[in-house]
């Protein structure tokens, strides 16, 4: 007869002194709580008897000594007579125990899947929808973050340009002088054009002077813009490419590997 230490070993020992039962430690039953103690512990009870009463060593209840004494626990006696031995296990036995536990878990999963197939299908596709929605929300959040970043850059650039414009007093003075010169020239040329007789050679010279003024104005405009915006003016270029069909993600069909563990027992 073999036994598991955690299951039977305590039955073979006295519940008071924890010594193993034997020739001088025969198991005796307590009438109050039905616990089993050895004969030597029963003798300890005899030393504290008050009249016919004693205090139980296990439950501490007051009890009357049985007329026929404390009976022998024959079940424990028979168990001892069988001389049970503790099981000795090696590594392979522990592996087998683990395999049996794994097999039991798989069997329970199979039972659950057989009985709850419809629920598992609904739960699977509910999870797929949740993942798609989550991916969409993450993309929307990413787009919002990019948008906020661009708007922040625009705001910073705008403030910088305004501050630069406030510092270009000398450039504005030069521009105003040029504007006055241009307006005077335009007025003179309009007056010249009002003459009845216009000399072609003089007109050609006027056009050359006007073209030079145009060039000066363009240069001055560039200088003003450079003072306000820097070397490059910020521009926004929208993404007009069609949405990628895999922008959020894609469904992937994969094969699930179902493994079956088979144990063979040879008797």
Give me the mean pLDDT over the 223-242 stretch: 78
Both 13 and 35 in one domain: the answer is yes
Give me the mean pLDDT over the 149-168 stretch: 87
Measured CA to CA, the distance from residue 230 to residue 162 in angstroms comes to: 11
Both 64 and 11 in one domain: the answer is yes
pLDDT of the residue at 126: 93
Picking from 143, 167, 191, the residue at the C-terminal end of a domain is 167
pLDDT of the residue at 261: 43
Both 78 and 6 in one domain: the answer is yes
pLDDT in tens, 110-124: 898 888 889 888 998
- The answer on pLDDT for 266 being more than 50 is no
Range(s) of the domain holding residue 211: 168-232
Picking from 148, 167, 186, the residue at the C-terminal end of a domain is 167
Both 47 and 74 in one domain: the answer is yes
- The answer on pLDDT for 239 being more than 60 is yes
84-111 as b/e: b if 16+ CB within 10 A: eeeeeeeeeeeeeeeeeeeeeeeeeeee
pLDDT in tens, 52-81: 788 888 898 888 888 888 899 998 888 888
Structure tokens belonging to residue 127: 């999870």
pTM for this predicted structure: 0.44
Both 195 and 163 in one domain: the answer is no
pLDDT in tens, 19-57: 888 777 889 999 889 899 998 888 888 777 677 788 888
pLDDT in tens, 162-180: 888 888 777 788 888 888 8
**Band of residue 260 on the pLDDT scale cut at 50, 70, 90:** very low
Picking from 167, 183, 204, the residue at the C-terminal end of a domain is 167
């Amino acid at each position: 007869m073999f036994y598991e230490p955690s299951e039977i070993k305590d039955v073979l020992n006295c519940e008071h002194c924890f010594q193993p039962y034997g020739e001088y430690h025969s198991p005796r039953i307590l009438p109050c709580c039905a616990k089993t103690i050895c004969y030597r512990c029963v003798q300890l009870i005899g030393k504290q008897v008050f009249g016919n009463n004693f205090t139980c060593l296990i439950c501490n209840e007051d009890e009357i000594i049985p007329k026929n004494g404390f009976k022998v626990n024959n079940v424990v006696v028979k168990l001892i007579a069988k001389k049970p031995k503790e099981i000795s296990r090696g590594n392979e036995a522990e592996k087998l125990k683990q395999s049996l536990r794994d097999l039991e878990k798989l069997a329970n999963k199979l039972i659950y899947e057989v009985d709850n197939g419809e629920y598992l299908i609904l739960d699977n596709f509910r999870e797929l929808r949740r993942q798609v929605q989550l991916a969409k929300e993450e993309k929307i959040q990413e787009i919002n973050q990019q948008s906020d970043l661009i708007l922040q850059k625009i705001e910073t650039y705008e403030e910088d340009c305004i501050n630069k414009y406030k510092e270009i007093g000398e450039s504005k003075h030069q521009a105003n002088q040029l504007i006055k010169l241009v307006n005077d020239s335009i007025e003179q040329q309009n007056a010249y054009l009002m003459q009845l007789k216009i000399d072609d050679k003089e007109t050609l010279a006027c056009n050359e002077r006007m073209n030079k003024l145009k060039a000066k104005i363009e240069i001055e405009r560039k200088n003003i813009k450079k003072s306000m915006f820097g070397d490059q003016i910020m521009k926004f270029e929208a993404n007009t490419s069609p949405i990628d069909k895999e922008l959020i993600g894609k469904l992937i069909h994969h094969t699930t590997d179902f493994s079956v563990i088979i144990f063979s027992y040879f008797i």
